[in-house]
Amino acid sequence: MTMLRIAVPNKGSLSAASSQLLADAGYNARRESAELVITDVENDIEFFFLRPRDIAVYVGSGRLDLGITGRDLLLDSNAAAAELLPLGYAHATFRYAAPEGALADVAELQGRRIATSFPALVRADLAGRGVTPASIVTLDGAVETAVRLGVADAVADVVETGRTLRAAGLELLGEPVLRSEAIIIAKRGAELSTSHERLLRRVQGVLVARRYVMMDYDVPSAVLEKACDITPGYESPTISPLQREDWVAVRAMVPRVEVNRTMDDLWDLGARGILVSGIQACRL
Ligand SMILES: Nc1ncnc2c1ncn2[C@@H]1O[C@H](COP(=O)(O)OP(=O)(O)OP(=O)(O)O)[C@@H](O)[C@H]1O
Ligand SMILES: O=P(O)(O)OC[C@H]1O[C@H](OP(=O)(O)OP(=O)(O)O)[C@H](O)[C@@H]1O
Ligand SMILES: [Mg+2]
């Protein structure tokens, strides 16, 4: 069996969180310095550190088995690669923007010059709307400045907080073109081997452990059904007997963001001894 080969972002917004995710999944993908390739002998995997924008190209060509990149970068690449798993970080939207008060909606991009680092994505989106721009000006970054410097009338760019846009005197135009986040990709149509699947399962385990906590509580049997409606668990809550009659213990996974509301609801229902603990790792 050949070694699994994975592409990992070497720079930018995706880089640190991707290395952390792999480390949490038990892989030795820590770069001491500027290594371009790291071999994790124990797990029989090679990690190739590449520019996020290039990762879809390598994976689409079949030279690397899997890669971590951004959904927006994948869609802009036209590579023969497909999304396998969203990773829950590097969340951003991709949007049009124009000088404040200049344009009313996306249709008014007709006949305008649009600056972007994602020309294929923009071309496809505008074609889908039947809008023909005068030109698409492809820039490497700091796209927001293109309007002020007179090389474009509007921009299409990654927006997280919107701070960069506002600072450049631009306002959003229309709804987001897409919502992006970090994703794992594979060659389109490729069959997944057991070692691919093992890596995906490990990463999924980390994501679930990050998203959920374990909740334990005691509740009168009379309201058990209502309690289980509040904490349905990931699959199904575990119910155990208590020595105290007419009470049971319940154990269920709860989304981290809902922990406090869930505890309030359980308390109001009559549950007591509510304990919350973190999940270190899991396979579900
Ligand atoms: N401010 C941001 N917040 C969240 N995600 C972002 C942000 N900027 C870029 N991204 C996302 O990061 C991914 C990689 O983009 P890129 O490699 O250009 O990162 P970057 O942080 O912009 O790096 P660079 O410093 O090289 O411009 C893209 O999928 C993009 O959606
Ligand atoms: O909505 P915000 O929170 O302001 O974030 C969005 C900005 O962040 C990224 O820029 P980056 O700093 O990577 O510079 P770049 O444009 O040179 O890539 C992106 O390209 C936007 O410009
Ligand atoms: Mg950038």
Which ligand places an atom closest to the C-alpha of 183? 1
Span from the CA of 264 to the centroid of ligand 3 (angstroms): 42
pLDDT of residue 1: 62
Query: Which residues of the chain have a pLDDT value below 50?
Result: none
Q: For residue 94, what pLDDT is reported?
A: 98
Domain 4-85+182-191 has CATH 3.40.190.10: yes
CB of 164 within 6 A of ligand 1: the answer is: no
The pLDDT of residue 189: 94
The pTM (predicted TM-score) of the whole model is: 0.92
CATH of 212-278, one of 3.30.70.1520, 3.40.50.300, 3.40.50.150, 3.30.70.120: 3.30.70.120
32: buried, middle or exposed (CB in 10 Å: 19+, 13-18, 0-12)? exposed
The predicted pLDDT at position 140 comes to 96
Instruction: For ligand 1, say whether the CB of 14 is within 6 Å of any of its atoms.
Output: yes
Helices (H), the chain: 15-24, 52-60, 71-77, 119-129, 163-167, 194-211, 224-230, 259-269
* Residue-level pLDDT at 29: 85
Q: 113-143 b/e with 16+ CB inside 10 Å = b?
A: bbbbbbbebbeebbeeeebebeebbebeeeb
Ranges of each domain in the chain = 4-85+182-191, 93-179, 212-278
| SS3 category, 169 | coil
Q: What is the ipTM of this complex?
A: 0.95
Q: Tell me: domain 93-179, CATH 3.40.190.10, correct?
A: yes
Q: Which two tokens stand for residue 24?
A: 């949490």
Residue of the CA atom closest to atom 21 of ligand 2: 158
Nearest CA to ligand 1 atom 23: 12
The C-alpha angle with vertex 154 and arms to 151 and 160, in degrees rounded to 5, equals 120
> Which residue has the least CA distance to atom 6 on ligand 2?
159
What pLDDT is recorded for position 34? 81
Residue 119 Cα to ligand 3 middle (Å)? 15
In this structure, the number of other CB atoms found within 10 A of the CB of residue 85 comes to 17
**Of 159, 163, 181, which is best to mutate to test ligand 2, by the most ligand atoms within 8 angstroms of its C-beta?**
159
